[in-house]
Structure 1
């Protein structure tokens, strides 16, 4: 064996799928350095092929019972009567088949059959109580993931949650198959070879275990339900989740290594007082096999990978709780130590997964995922933190500071008006029950738990910021979104704590350069602007598992404008928006295929490893993407854009100047001479606050019939209440196509896992500019939340000058602020404004001071 490692023995039952007379055994050692010795390899006949018949958990009369003082024991033989022998001392009590220890010592039980005949005498030994720390940690885990002890009958939300859980248990008990030979427990989860059905089955048992442990439940300490839970866990581990099982066919590694194990360990934690150590080891054999290493997934497959980010936290929720249940201190320490990598920022300029110091969060290799897998990370870690704090290995100051940084630099800047920006949520945007508002509450849930662990000053500061986001949700909605009494208690206490005031949100600019995103909030005008780009290091979009099938252009320079229309993105935007015309994007006007599993499979057959790229999921060849800022109201961003199939190119930039955002595009070219257009905007209308359109100052009717105008210098969408106005000012007369259309779609079109095929219809105003000539350009300014009077004034002032907009230079002059914003695309020397001599390619911001220009910010790009 290699130095420093331990011997490992594995025995596997090989069952040929077809008639086999030869086999080849290949040994793989792909990770690590040094020498590995494979020894004592043997093949031996195992006998007849194991029966495919379902195995039933058997019950045998106990020969003896050994139990610690803190546990209860449910007798094996439910039809027999157990009683304390006449000569026994006051060591135990027996209540309806449940043995309850009273003191340490030994005693005897008599076992009577249904006719009252004594069939056995069983020795009983009560040992000292288990390690109190282990027991308290398991209790704390149950408190964090449910918190039944926090139940308050005066809370409608808590009462409703308990009723919902009770009703679900009642229904699932009624629907449970009575057929002992059945291959499933519930008919709607009938194919347990499809691993998602296995996970869902285990979650139903977990739900039952929750109610068994909850004082408010009608099933509290229900011995028959406890027996059923244990029997069905045994059934699952005998038939579907055991070391001889392979992850193959319709099975997914996630279910075997995260979904099912989490449900099992949680179930055992809830019924911990009623399970023996022998039973725990039996029920967790599958976990030990499929998840042997707290730092690695797919260990039983040929392509294992390192556990990082949200998946690493999920691993921790499996391995840490498993170790506690099994009283395995070494495994506990190792599983906790495995989490250390979470608290290290990825190096600037690297391409690793995880958090970066600029607030970016990357997952799935190269996808911006703060609002999805980042949510999973802080949600899971925030559940583990209370346990870690009870251990000697509690979180040190550095780790607490890192968690504070995540909250304040990664998550809060992406929250506006109670929403979590969709550009950070990846394929989650296609889930009907996971709107941007719900995603925000999910993130806040983890943030509030983490805040409890922070030093007092940081705790109060962050709670004030959380309270500011919660102000956009009503208390009833907040509490109803929660699935534990523990979380309900935390949120209720915060909302009712008059000593913690909601922190006023000031203007801010967050540049997430490592994930090619930008978020800006203007406090005076109360709007937010978000920009979603991609580069050679980040993916344009991710479609996976039949989700986000039409996310094609969401990373191509799409912008989001958050104003007083709080439901613009959260209220069924994604199934009804035209996915070919995302706001701010420049694209070929071509048909696209929905990126489903079936479509990817077809492409895989044709293109192998290039399948995802052929489906449209790609990085750019260009690294000329990034942003700089000067203060909290001035920024410059650029994307030297090349579309997914390399047929459209454009040089796109955005300049934020306080309450105005300038959009420039140049060198727009189609390699295939297909029609190309830039979507100036595609705005969903609020039926209660619809828009009136003004073109060049004149009110203009807009219908479903496309309106073509070739002389547009200004557009104003004037909302009914005047609070959601949007102005567009063009640098020169521009030809535009405008329409107001009722667009229809359903959730199942963008997420085929959804059963909701109901057609949704919403009105959208679409404004686009067609690029019919080679190396075309566009130039316009977006003015959110501007009154009509102020817009008319801006139109006459011509405050912003576009001095250059070509393939070499994009140059903007803000005369009011004396600012110059420069995008330089090459290394050739350029003299700007007769004064500035620039050589390096990249982004420049200058402020005029007297007769000179002071450089405020620079970022080299190439």
Structure 2
């Protein structure tokens, strides 16, 4: 035995194993006859076809050779060594804390994929299957069995990582495996992954989101491999339960599209993608079987509501990828590829109303993103589905989606225009500002403090070695002091002690976001707002105050320009960065512009056992635009416009296009072309050209007048008000249309916001 057991652990483990063995034997004996064996085999083959493809296609010879090359590399480097013990010299198995046992099973999966993929030289080779059998025996004996003690190593490897890789491996190799050995290798799952809904290593924890979906996949596959109807039904039921929306707090999908994992973190682009991938595969695998997952309309709605707003030409926005931004092998295009793969998988079962919208949308993503082509990342079977879509003349190339999306339940706002997108990452006492676990995301200190993410035609900006090379003290959109920070510790879970974060959108075209900044370990305080227009983002800051003896800065931009500095133009109150954007200073401030080459290593930001980056230095060029508020500022302010993909002329001429109505501790507001947008931090009034706009409590409001009609949206991002009274610059004649809780009252508008959780109320008024 490789890992020593304490006597108590051994006794408890033996008792647990004995009980599970009896339970498993009884289930296998009692249920196998209930479902035709062919049903199990059909579902398993369906899964294998999703992984390896059903037949060889010469059109994908390069992809097939890549699968073969990975499998042959696994075989070539394999060295059985019982003394270390190890299957590969670089993965000794003695200490589970290294995660090498998890990596070993991942390599076995790569070998099995090569064996099962039609067209490889390994396909169906009995000698390769024989080697795989010996290797799985070795891993069962030395790395992963029902008697072992995980000795404080990462629970995920034991309960999800290895079970997923092992069941995939066994499914792919199934026709070449002795069935008695198959049951032996799967026996540890009775201890470590018996139930999708429970965490064995931490009793009392109920699995949610991606973790439950991942476990459901492993449990379902074990059921199919061992012809255990009970296990497949258990997995199916666990997935069905996942499709229910939550009102929070905590993990799950929310009605506004937010997705939370680990209680307080927005994770749509990481755990959420894993969830979507697992559920899509389970739906496809069990379709037209005795275990078909029914009542799944919710998953199609989730794709539109939760995932699509964050995908930009096949890239998943980093603002919802959490600590995964620091992982060298998982970048925005990897998360985007998995999202596309899941949608392509769901297209087989999706209702027409979704499928008709998704096909052009995905075709648009695949067509526009030539920087990191989908075909270089996706599995062979998914590439074939993508190609079929691209070749279908009946499906047009869909444009980029547009709209303003406020995810009040996870403090994120996304603003999308035809040629660019802008995302804002905030935090509050509800939503954590940064997560650091497993020695990952060591320098993510400010990623939730109002960081902004500009997406343009440069689709490699965020993935081209940005995170190890960008100055982590100067993330775009943030206001920070320059204190030296230590690496974030494992388990860091910071939530700023303020309820103020959120926003509001009007008609999906205009919006705003706002947050109160409370510095981490600092006296720094500020009120920050972003106004989202059709051609610009207006950023206002006020009340910037600190007393720690350190310099405070606001970062207008910090752009990765890869291997060169592009042309830079400057004028009176503006800066233009060629190919990116124009930046107009709206309050006469003089920005500091820095152009530098920065060098870093992925290992600097991720030292995780199985994810840790390499130590190779990488260098990139940056243009950074900084507003210097000085040392210990007192009520400093800023006002600037970001003009994505604007020309030099458009940037130079922008002054005067927007009127700043207020930038104070009470209200921040702008006016343009009949539209007023305001953040009221408390009751107050702002003067417009047509009269005062007043409210009696904290709120965010956007209103637009067209002749004698006003459209408005209002929300309470602080979640502290019961109802709000808005007095508009015009007399209200009637309410044409309004959400529940909105009514006219004595010449003003009364809006009930209690219980709205920061979501908007809207109305159309005659004035």
Is 2:241 the counterpart of 1:354? no
Q: Which of 264, 267, 272 does residue 366 from structure 1 map onto? A: 264
How far residue 260 of structure 1 moved from its aligned partner, in angstroms, is 1.5
Q: Which of 265, 282, 288 does residue 190 from structure 2 map onto? A: 288
**Structure-2 separation of matches of 1:25 and 1:763:** 56
**Correspondence for 1:6:** none
Q: Structure 2 vs 1, CA of residues 314 and 572 (structure 1 numbering), >3 Å: closer, same or farther? A: same
**Correspondence for 1:223:** 126
Q: Which of 212, 235, 253 does residue 115 from structure 2 map onto? A: 212
Is 2:560 the counterpart of 1:684? yes
**Structure-1 separation of matches of 2:391 and 2:256:** 33
**Correspondence for 2:70:** 165
Deviation readout 1:124-168 (Å, 9 max, x if unpaired): xxx9x9711111111112111222x23212324333324323432
**Structure-2 separation of matches of 1:205 and 1:270:** 10
Is 2:339 the counterpart of 1:443? yes
**Structure-2 separation of matches of 1:854 and 1:338:** 43
How far residue 450 of structure 1 moved from its aligned partner, in angstroms, is 1.4
Q: Which of 640, 643, 649 does residue 783 from structure 1 map onto? A: 643
2:588 aligned counterpart, secondary structure = strand
**Correspondence for 1:648:** 524
Q: Structure 2 vs 1, CA of residues 302 and 360 (structure 1 numbering), >3 Å: closer, same or farther? A: closer
How far residue 718 of structure 1 moved from its aligned partner, in angstroms, is 4.5
Q: Is the 8 A contact 1:166 1:217 kept in 2?
A: no
Is 2:680 the counterpart of 1:824? yes
**Correspondence for 1:571:** 464
2:287 aligned counterpart, secondary structure = helix
**Correspondence for 2:327:** 431
**Structure-1 separation of matches of 2:707 and 2:356:** 44
How far residue 319 of structure 1 moved from its aligned partner, in angstroms, is 0.4
Q: Structure 2 vs 1, CA of residues 323 and 558 (structure 1 numbering), >3 Å: closer, same or farther? A: same
How far residue 460 of structure 1 moved from its aligned partner, in angstroms, is 3.0
Deviation readout 1:24-62 (Å, 9 max, x if unpaired): 9999xxxxxxxxxxxxx99xxxxxxxxxxxxxxxxxxxx
**Structure 1 unaligned spans of 5+:** 1-12, 18-22, 28-40, 43-126, 601-610, 697-713
How far residue 469 of structure 1 moved from its aligned partner, in angstroms, is 0.9
Is 2:613 the counterpart of 1:754? yes
Aligned length in residues: 690
1:189 aligned counterpart, secondary structure = coil
1:499 aligned counterpart, secondary structure = coil
**Correspondence for 2:237:** 337
**Correspondence for 2:704:** 847
**Correspondence for 1:391:** 289
**Structure-2 separation of matches of 1:850 and 1:331:** 63
Deviation readout 1:768-793 (Å, 9 max, x if unpaired): 23244312111222222222333333
**Structure-2 separation of matches of 1:680 and 1:751:** 27
Deviation readout 1:450-474 (Å, 9 max, x if unpaired): 1222123422321110111112234
Q: Which of 93, 116, 140 does residue 191 from structure 1 map onto? A: 93
Q: Structure 2 vs 1, CA of residues 689 and 406 (structure 1 numbering), >3 Å: closer, same or farther? A: farther
Is 2:426 the counterpart of 1:533? yes
Q: Structure 2 vs 1, CA of residues 417 and 335 (structure 1 numbering), >3 Å: closer, same or farther? A: closer
Q: Which has the higher contact order (CA 8 A, sep 6+)?
A: 2
Q: Structure 2 vs 1, CA of residues 688 and 628 (structure 1 numbering), >3 Å: closer, same or farther? A: same
Q: Which of 398, 408, 413 does residue 518 from structure 1 map onto? A: 413
Is 2:30 the counterpart of 1:131? no
**Correspondence for 2:55:** 150
Q: Is the 8 A contact 1:740 1:766 kept in 2?
A: no
Is 2:711 the counterpart of 1:835? no
Q: Is the 8 A contact 1:151 1:158 kept in 2?
A: no
Q: Is the 8 A contact 2:411 2:431 kept in 1?
A: yes
C-alpha RMSD of matched pairs (Å): 2.8
Q: Is the 8 A contact 2:465 2:618 kept in 1?
A: no
How far residue 653 of structure 1 moved from its aligned partner, in angstroms, is 0.8
Q: Structure 2 vs 1, CA of residues 780 and 378 (structure 1 numbering), >3 Å: closer, same or farther? A: same
Deviation readout 1:594-615 (Å, 9 max, x if unpaired): 22xxx54xxxxxxxxxx72xxx
Deviation readout 1:320-354 (Å, 9 max, x if unpaired): 0111112111222112101122211122xx22212
**Structure-2 separation of matches of 1:744 and 1:456:** 49
Q: Structure 2 vs 1, CA of residues 329 and 653 (structure 1 numbering), >3 Å: closer, same or farther? A: same
Is 2:450 the counterpart of 1:557? yes
Is 2:507 the counterpart of 1:631? yes
**Correspondence for 2:276:** 378
Q: Structure 2 vs 1, CA of residues 687 and 218 (structure 1 numbering), >3 Å: closer, same or farther? A: closer
Determine which structure has more spread, i.e. the larger CA radius of gyration. Answer: 1
Deviation readout 1:462-506 (Å, 9 max, x if unpaired): 1110111112234993222123x3212111111211111111224
**Structure 2 unaligned spans of 5+:** 17-32, 721-767
Q: Structure 2 vs 1, CA of residues 215 and 393 (structure 1 numbering), >3 Å: closer, same or farther? A: closer
Q: Is the 8 A contact 1:743 1:764 kept in 2?
A: no
**Structure-2 separation of matches of 1:474 and 1:666:** 41
**Structure-2 separation of matches of 1:303 and 1:542:** 23
Deviation readout 1:705-726 (Å, 9 max, x if unpaired): xxxxxxxxx212141xxx5331
**Correspondence for 2:225:** 325
1:205 aligned counterpart, secondary structure = helix
Q: Which of 700, 714, 737 does residue 857 from structure 1 map onto? A: 714
1:626 aligned counterpart, secondary structure = strand
Q: Which of 571, 579, 582 does residue 695 from structure 1 map onto? A: 571
How far residue 627 of structure 1 moved from its aligned partner, in angstroms, is 0.7
Q: Structure 2 vs 1, CA of residues 555 and 136 (structure 1 numbering), >3 Å: closer, same or farther? A: same
Is 2:725 the counterpart of 1:725? no
Q: Is the 8 A contact 1:422 1:429 kept in 2?
A: yes
**Structure-2 separation of matches of 1:434 and 1:774:** 42
How far residue 835 of structure 1 moved from its aligned partner, in angstroms, is 3.3
How far residue 415 of structure 1 moved from its aligned partner, in angstroms, is 1.8
Q: Structure 2 vs 1, CA of residues 528 and 26 (structure 1 numbering), >3 Å: closer, same or farther? A: same
**Correspondence for 1:416:** 312
